[in-house]
Chain A
Amino acid sequence: MADSPPAGARFTDELRFVGLFALVYVILHSLYFAIPDDILRDRIYYHGVTTISADIINAVAPSEKVRAISNQIRSPRAALEIVRGCDGSGVVFLLAAAIIAFSASIGYKLVGILGAALLIYVVNLARIIGLYFVVAHRGEWFTPLHTYFIPTLLIIIAVTYFSSWAMWPLRGATAPANE
């Protein structure tokens, strides 16, 4: 504890972190909303989300006979539409903002942001595929899962990822007596 900064200084650091975190998040959100709907719908979501999700669903459960149509995953049983915000961008922005606000080298931050984008992309694909099966087979579970359980779990996954990124350089160093 001898080399720990005073509590007041730590709290000032946290205020600075929170301020920068919020500012970067708002900037990323604004940039995201500058992307036209049709580019998201017909290019990014079609090539990056619905086609891949449909391929995976058909590979896992061929009887679903799923098709990707623009930003929709359609089958005889269900239709799931990917709209702005359903692409995991909010969680990626949270992580990117936290990483940018954290004190680290630019290279390490870039690695953290790339890892975050990859992790959330994969987790979000799993979310969308899972939600397709929910809509197709347990429609009444959709609202609780979509609006409550999955978003909160995603944030906890993001917090865990950020913590592992932030503590990685400390591995092998003497652990602090108090966290």
Chain B
Amino acid sequence: MAAPGLPALAVRLGLAWVILALIGFFAGSPLIRASLPLTAAVTGALLPDMQCELTLIEKPYTDQVQLTATNDGPLLLGGAATVPAGQVMRGTANVIHALVPLVILFTIVLGWPAANLKQRLVMILAGIPAAALLLAVTTPFQLAGHVQIYLQQLAGQAGVARAEPLSLTYMIFLESGGRWMLAVALAVLCVGAGQLLPAGKRPAAADAAPPGD
């Protein structure tokens, strides 16, 4: 990656963070609501033996995405232990928690220097599928992970050892900082996509930082 002017970069990242974090905090629910079909599709794929329903619940400070999962048939936990058909299980994710990777992604995309407006535009456009990808590989795993934790607890209570599902391992990875890593990695690729365009001459009104500051 090219090295930007540090003071300008710090200010721009800080400003982008303030604006995006406040937008997300006060107006993030509609975005998460709009992404519910994608989240539901991935969650359903993670829990193929269950009927999954996602709803957005209003809460003070942050709304919540709630997963209600109902198993179609008996679920084998191990040994003779099973979960009877029709058992309702729930998982939740705060809207602001779901927005964390997106705020990181777009703060970097908007804050990192671009040589001209075309580069900036490509970075932002690349950020849109990156954001959808981030939503698809984070929130559904958190929701399904809660169901898997519940099943692990049931197995523990029944005294049987249930192997940790890969999706639960991945959820723990996400919740320990993996979601930040994914956001930063995708942001670097978005910036790189923008820099595929020729830098050209910096227009007077371009939003890039002056060189060498």
Residues of A within 8 A of B (CB): 1, 7-8, 10-11, 14-15, 17-18, 21-22, 25-26, 29, 32-33, 84-85, 89-91, 93-94, 97-98, 140, 143-144, 147-149, 151-153, 155-156, 159-160, 163-164, 166-167, 170, 174-179
Contact = CB atoms under 8 A, between A and B. Distances in A.
A11 B192 contact: yes
Most chain A beta-carbon contacts within 10 A, residue among B1, B61, B196: B1
B134 interface: no
Given A29-B173, A167-B3, A155 B97 contact: no
Interface string B1-39: 111111001100110010001001100000000000000
Contacts of B198: 7
B191 to A, nearest CB: 8
A164 B185 CA distance: 18
A178 B202 contact: yes
Contacts, number: 154
Nearest to A179: B113
Nearest to B196: A7
Contacts of A164: 6
B100 A179 contact: no
Contacts of A167: 3-4, 6
A11 B193 contact: yes
